[in-house]
Amino acid sequence: MLFGVTHLLTWYGTVLCRERSRGAVVHRPLGGSLDDVDLLDIGEVDAVLQADIGHLMRDDEDALRVVLNDGPLAGWTVSRSPDHRSLVLTRADQRLMTPPGGDLITLVQGDPGEASRFLAIGRDDLAVLRDLVTAEWLVERAGAAARAERVTLVPGFGLRVGTLDVGLGWTLPFDRSEWPHRLTLMPEAWRIERIYRYRPLIYFTAFGDAAIMRQFALSLASLVTTGGYDGAIVVMTDKSADEIRALVPAGMRATLVVMPTLARDRLGYLAARLTIGRWPDAAAFQPLLYVDTDVIFDRPVTPMLRAIALSDRLSAVVEPTELLDRSEFVGSGLLRADGCSPAAESGFNFGILGIPNLRQFGATVALMGRVLHNRLTLCGRDSLPYPDQAIANYVAWRRQAVDTAILSAYVRLADHRADPTGRLGVVHFCWAPTADLKAHLMALYLERLAQLDGA
Q: What local confidence, expressed as pLDDT, does residue 403 receive?
A: 97
Question: In this model, does residue 1 exceed pLDDT 50?
Answer: no
Identify which has the larger pLDDT, 3 or 1.
Answer: 3
Supply the CATH classification number for the domain 201-454. Answer: 3.90.550.10
Rounded CA gap, 450 and 455, in Å? 8
Question: In this model, does residue 348 exceed pLDDT 50?
Answer: yes
Whether the CB-CB separation of 39 and 28 falls below 8 Å is answered with no
Rounded CA gap, 397 and 29, in Å? 49
Helix, strand, coil % over all residues of the chain, rounded to 5? 35, 30, 40
Rounded CA gap, 189 and 168, in Å? 9
Question: Which residues lie below 8 Å from residue 351, measured CB to CB, with a gap of 6+?
Answer: 291, 292, 294, 295, 317, 428, 430
Q: HSE-up of 349 (CA within 13 Å, CB side)?
A: 23
Could you tell me the strand order of the sheet in which 426-428 lies? 295-297, 426-428, 411-413
**Cross-strand bridge partners of residue 191:** none
Question: Which residues lie below 8 Å from residue 244, measured CB to CB, with a gap of 6+?
Answer: 206, 235, 237, 256, 258
Question: Which residues lie below 8 Å from residue 410, measured CB to CB, with a gap of 6+?
Answer: 299, 303, 304, 307, 424, 425, 426
Alpha carbon separation from 200 to 161, 232, 287, 415 (Å, rounded)? 19, 7, 5, 28
Question: Which residues lie below 8 Å from residue 250, measured CB to CB, with a gap of 6+?
Answer: none
CA of residue 114 relative to chain centroid, distance: 35
Q: What is the pLDDT of residues 141-165, one digit of tens each?
A: 999 999 999 999 999 999 999 999 9
Question: In this model, does residue 343 exceed pLDDT 90?
Answer: no
- Strands of 224-330 (E only): list them: 232-237, 255-260, 288-291, 295-297, 314-323
- 3-class state of residue 386 by DSSP: coil
- Range with the poorest average pLDDT among 106-110, 196-200, 337-341: 106-110
100: cis peptide before it, omega within 30°?
A: no
Q: What local confidence, expressed as pLDDT, does residue 119 receive?
A: 96
Rounded CA gap, 115 and 120, in Å? 15
Q: What local confidence, expressed as pLDDT, does residue 454 receive?
A: 81
Mean pLDDT, the chain, integer: 94
Q: What local confidence, expressed as pLDDT, does residue 315 receive?
A: 98
H or E stretch at 193: strand 193-197
Q: HSE-up of 26 (CA within 13 Å, CB side)?
A: 17
Identify which has the larger pLDDT, 174 or 34.
Answer: 174
Q: Enumerate the H helices of 32-145 as residue ranges.
A: 46-49, 53-58, 123-132
Q: What is the pLDDT of residues 352-362, one digit of tens each?
A: 999 999 999 99
Q: What local confidence, expressed as pLDDT, does residue 455 receive?
A: 57
Question: In this model, does residue 11 exceed pLDDT 90?
Answer: yes
CA angle 421, 320, 452 (to 5 degrees): 10
H or E stretch at 446: helix 435-454
Q: What count of other Cβ atoms lies within 10 Å of the Cβ of residue 68?
A: 19
Q: What is the mean pLDDT of residues 308-323?
A: 97
What is the phi/psi pair of residue 315, to 5°? -125, 140
Question: In this model, does residue 2 exceed pLDDT 50?
Answer: no
Question: In this model, does residue 236 exceed pLDDT 80?
Answer: yes
Could you tell me the strand order of the sheet in which 193-197 lies? 164-167, 158-161, 149-154, 136-139, 193-197, 182-185
Q: What is the mean pLDDT of residues 265-272?
A: 96
CATH architecture of 6-123: Trefoil (2.80)
CA proximity to 446, closest of 255, 292, 254, 220? 220
Q: What count of other Cβ atoms lies within 10 Å of the Cβ of residue 379?
A: 11
What is the phi/psi pair of residue 189, to 5°? 75, -30
Band (pLDDT 50/70/90 cuts) for residue 44 is confident
Band (pLDDT 50/70/90 cuts) for residue 93 is confident
Q: What local confidence, expressed as pLDDT, does residue 112 receive?
A: 86
Q: What is the mean pLDDT of residues 125-143?
A: 96
Question: In this model, does residue 3 exceed pLDDT 80?
Answer: no
Q: What is the pLDDT of residues 365-388, one digit of tens each?
A: 999 999 999 999 999 999 998 999
For the chain, the structural domain boundaries read 6-123, 125-197, 201-454
Band (pLDDT 50/70/90 cuts) for residue 181 is very high
Q: What percent of the chain shows pLDDT beyond 90?
A: 89
Q: Enumerate the H helices of 172-314 as residue ranges.
A: 210-224, 241-245, 266-271, 302-309
Band (pLDDT 50/70/90 cuts) for residue 111 is confident
Question: Which residues lie below 8 Å from residue 218, measured CB to CB, with a gap of 6+?
Answer: 296, 439, 442, 443, 446
